[in-house]
């Protein structure tokens, strides 16, 4: 089965620029991530356009609400035919259980993953909202919660992958942004890992944005990364 490891973040404000990029890529080589910005601008019809071109979609809307509202949103997201959706693990066990149950009853059954802790949250930010645990402890706690609720995996930093792989088992899906090929610009990311190192540490899928979307030749950038991680074209 074709299971591309790279998920390209379509961080664009409109359909025209997102489609221009998608048309330069190939669905056998990558999946696409549509987040809040692009989805708010373009809606479900645009997902259809991408899927018609053969791409599988990670709809990155990070739902976080009371259990019933989250479950209903997950159900509708699943009905769009996307490959993966996500929620915030900080919504708690009841919300995660409700989301899982809602997905299980759908025909499409997309993968359901949880965001553990946003990587923008450092120790001081946690303290400010009354959480005294370290970010690493929180990530492990939230990933365990997600796994116990039967979610397929979590979105986490590549730096956390080795720990989570050890605690959550071989089947748990670990989706990691913050990936930079060895010679790429860091942009605004700080704790980055190369594609190869992230996969070796135990990542299941790599979310990569600007190193591909802003490349002069995005397809070549994707081919180069696939080559680096040993995927035959
Ligand atoms: O361009 P770049 O490769 O930095 O894009 C990374 C993508 O992953 C963006 O869509 C960003 O919002 C997302 N992301 C992240 N760090 C997280 C969670 C998501 O960079 N902790």
Residue nearest to atom 19 of ligand 1 (CA): 177
- Looking at CATH, the fold of the domain delimited by 6-228 is given as TIM Barrel (3.20.20)
CB-CB contact of 164 with 172 (8 Å): yes
Q: Please report the pLDDT score of residue 182 as a whole number.
A: 86
Taking the whole predicted model, whether its pTM rises above 0.85 is answered as yes
pLDDT in tens, the chain (233 residues): 789 999 999 999 999 999 999 999 999 999 999 999 999 999 999 999 999 999 999 999 999 999 999 999 999 999 999 999 999 999 999 999 999 999 999 999 999 999 999 888 889 999 999 999 999 999 999 999 999 999 999 999 999 999 999 999 999 999 999 999 988 888 888 778 999 999 999 999 999 999 999 999 999 999 999 999 987 55
DSSP letter string, 217-230: SHHHHHHHHHHHTT
Domain segments of the chain: what residues?
6-228
Q: Please report the pLDDT score of residue 154 as a whole number.
A: 98
Contacts by 109-112, CB closer than 8 A, 24 or more apart: 109/78, 110/59, 110/77, 110/78, 110/82, 110/83, 110/84, 110/85, 111/83, 111/84, 111/85, 111/152, 111/153, 111/173, 112/74, 112/84, 112/85, 112/86, 112/87, 112/151, 112/152
Whether 62 is catalytic: yes
Q: Is 189 in the pocket of ligand 1 (CB under 6 A)?
A: yes
Query: What is the spatial distance between Cα 218 and Cα 84, in angstroms, rounded to a whole number?
Result: 23
Q: Please report the pLDDT score of residue 232 as a whole number.
A: 56
Residue nearest to atom 10 of ligand 1 (CA): 9
Q: How far is the CA of 72 from the centre of ligand 1 (A)?
A: 26
Count Cβ neighbours within 10 Å for each residue of 116-134 and write b for 16 or more, e otherwise.
bbebebeeeebeeeebeee
Residue 8's alpha-carbon distances to 39, 145, 182, in angstroms, are 15, 27, 17
Query: What is the spatial distance between Cα 110 and Cα 85, in angstroms, rounded to a whole number?
Result: 7
């Amino acid at each position: 089965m074709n299971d591309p490891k790279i998920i390209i973040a379509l961080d664009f404000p409109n359909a025209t620029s997102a489609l221009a990029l998608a048309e330069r890529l190939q669905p056998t080589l990558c999946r696409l991530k549509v987040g809040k910005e692009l989805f708010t601008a373009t809606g479900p019809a645009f997902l259809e356009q991408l899927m018609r071109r053969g791409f599988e979609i990670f709809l990155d809307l990070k739902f976080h609400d009371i259990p019933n509202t989250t479950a209903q949103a997950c159900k509708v997201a699943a009905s769009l035919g996307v490959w993966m959706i996500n929620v915030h693990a900080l919504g708690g066990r009841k919300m995660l259980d409700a989301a899982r149950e809602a997905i299980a009853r759908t025909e499409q059954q997309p993968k359901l993953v949880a965001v553990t802790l946003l990587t923008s949250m450092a120790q001081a930010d946690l303290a400010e909202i009354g959480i005294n645990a370290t970010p690493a402890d929180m990530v492990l706690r939230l990933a365990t919660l997600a796994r116990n609720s039967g979610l397929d995996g979590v979105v986490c930093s590549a730096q956390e992958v080795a720990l989570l792989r050890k605690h959550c088992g071989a089947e748990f899906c670990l989706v990691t942004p913050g990936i930079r090929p060895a010679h790429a610009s860091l942009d605004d990311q700080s704790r980055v890992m190369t594609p190869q190192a992230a996969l070796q540490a135990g990542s299941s899928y790599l979310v990569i944005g600007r190193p591909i979307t802003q490349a002069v030749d995005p397809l070549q950038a994707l081919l180069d990364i696939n080559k680096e991680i040993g995927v035959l074209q």
